[in-house]
Structure 1
Amino acid sequence: MNILVAGFDPFGDEQINPAMEILKLLPKKINGSVIDKLEIPTVFHKSKTVIEEKLQQKVYDIVLVVGQAGGRFEITPERIAMNIDDARIPDNEGNQPIDEVIQITGAQAYFSNLPVKSMTAAIKAQGIPARLSNTAGTFVCNHILYQLGFLQDTQYPKMKFGFIHVPFIPEQVVNKVNQPSMSLEMMVRGLQAAIATIVDTNEDIKKPLGEIQ
């Protein structure tokens, strides 16, 4: 299998993004599958363009994007992305909206077609906090997961796609009060476990993973 793993660059006031730090430490092969790595900008639409250009260069069986979710305690595979791309979009720097409106005619939402429950269980089996997430937020993380669903739906029907959020790493929270973090080593192990599960699993766990809050 050919797997593309993409990670966002630093955004906001952050000087690093754990997503890219994890990618730097990922091996080139996991369970026999070739891992290609790609840095993408934390910018609406431009992030999708960078991935789309990569997809035009090589056939990928799986595309997995990793992003930072400051404030979360666990590694969280995402189940679903909402269509919020029919609103006014930010400028190329991700700042104030511009007047152009881009209408996306895809579904109202796209579900990841990866075995997200099995991925969550595999991360936990490594002794690493993990949780299945039912919301990718409303920033570029949700946007890119939705766009991957749109690309799979309209151009790449055999492609599997998904998104994983990771917490801050410790050095990011030195000056942040009461913010959770996770070691980079632990997150790398968690991502490797998730990818190994994607490679080896044909059908997801049939088990509810709901939450009460």
Structure 2
Amino acid sequence: MADILLTGFQPYGGRQLNPSAEVLRALDGSRIEGATVHGLLLPCSFTAAKDPLEEAIATFRPAVVLSTGLWPGEPMIRLERVAVNRASFEIPDNDGTLMRDDPVDARGPVARAVTLPVGDIIIALRRKGIPARVSDTAGTFLCNTTLYRALGACEQVDHPAHCGFVHLPYLPQQVAELLDELSEQGQLELHQRADLASMSLEMMVEAVRTTLAVSVAGI
């Protein structure tokens, strides 16, 4: 039977929650289109996240590898199409590492393209009433790093795997907490900022489940 590797991240940047971790917990161990979901919660660390990711891909030899992460300010589900060989952080990771225009892999290609059926996934999500869009930049923080590494690890197995990345919005409770912080700082007028968008956990779980179902069906 086919296996799915689903990854998410621990909280970072002083946040108490990461929606990718919550989605991971909801889907870990479930079966989608006959495939078993194996969840892997990654540390928000450039160094420490590498080996667990690559070892899981080598061990499970999954048919689908889907990584997820938070993009603060994103108002909808966002499917990435490319990862670049560049790590340049605006904030340190949870180990305090601050990469400055460094390669993810000094021996790797400039970029790698995802192998998920992105177009079919977008259609399926929108048909379910889930707002979703395609993106050509996964940034240069740990989400991009993870996608780049996952694609590289998938190239090392002897069968093709559908591999990609989904960026998730804030959870509603995260926005509520952010509004409280802004109010305490006397900055409540910032409530019109786009980065206060959010999405329910239930919708995010369904979006990731649908993404996995379309990906497995396309193998």
The verdict on a shared fold, with TM-score over 0.5 as the criterion, is yes
Offset of residue 91 of structure 1: 7.6
Show the counterpart of 2:4.
3
Cα distance between partner residues in 2 of 1:103 and 1:165: 22
- 3-state DSSP class of the match of 1:15? coil
Show the counterpart of 1:207.
none
Aligned residues: 199
Show the counterpart of 1:80.
82
**1:183 is the counterpart of 2:184:** no
**1:142 is the counterpart of 2:159:** no
- Checking the alignment, whether the CA contact within 8 Å between 2:68 and 2:165 is kept in structure 1 is yes
Cα distance between partner residues in 1 of 2:99 and 2:161: 32
Cα distance between partner residues in 1 of 2:144 and 2:202: 25
Cα distance between partner residues in 1 of 2:78 and 2:163: 15
- 3-state DSSP class of the match of 2:129? coil
Cα distance between partner residues in 1 of 2:23 and 2:94: 26
Offset of residue 57 of structure 1: 2.9
Unaligned runs of 5+ in 2: 180-190
Distance 1:157-1:44 versus aligned 2 partners, 3 A rule = farther
- Checking the alignment, whether the CA contact within 8 Å between 1:4 and 1:36 is kept in structure 2 is yes
Offset of residue 86 of structure 1: 9.7
Offset of residue 124 of structure 1: 1.0
Report the structure, 1 or 2, having the larger helix content.
Answer: 2
Superposed CA RMSD in Å reads 2.4
Show the counterpart of 2:42.
40
Name the TM-score, length of structure 1 as normaliser: 0.85
Describe the superposition over 1:152-185 as per-residue Cα deviations: whole angstroms up to 9, x where unpaired.
2345552321110000000001124331000001
Cα distance between partner residues in 1 of 2:136 and 2:103: 27
- 3-state DSSP class of the match of 1:132? strand
Distance 1:156-1:46 versus aligned 2 partners, 3 A rule = farther
What percentage of residue pairs aligned between the two structures are identical? 36
Show the counterpart of 1:125.
127
Describe the superposition over 1:40-97 as per-residue Cα deviations: whole angstroms up to 9, x where unpaired.
011113212111122343321221101001100110111001111599xx78704345
- Checking the alignment, whether the CA contact within 8 Å between 2:85 and 2:103 is kept in structure 1 is no
- Checking the alignment, whether the CA contact within 8 Å between 1:81 and 1:142 is kept in structure 2 is yes
Distance 1:32-1:102 versus aligned 2 partners, 3 A rule = closer
The aligned amino acid for 2:8 is G
Distance 1:102-1:83 versus aligned 2 partners, 3 A rule = closer
Describe the superposition over 1:119-174 as per-residue Cα deviations: whole angstroms up to 9, x where unpaired.
11111111011001111011000111111122223455523211100000000011
Distance 1:102-1:71 versus aligned 2 partners, 3 A rule = closer
Unaligned runs of 5+ in 1: 203-213
Taking the TM superposition and a 5 Å limit, the aligned residue runs for 1:1-213 are 1-26=2-27, 28-85=30-87, 93-96=95-98, 103-155=105-157, 158-174=160-176, 175-176=178-179, 177=191, 178=193, 179-202=196-219
Cα distance between partner residues in 2 of 1:197 and 1:36: 17
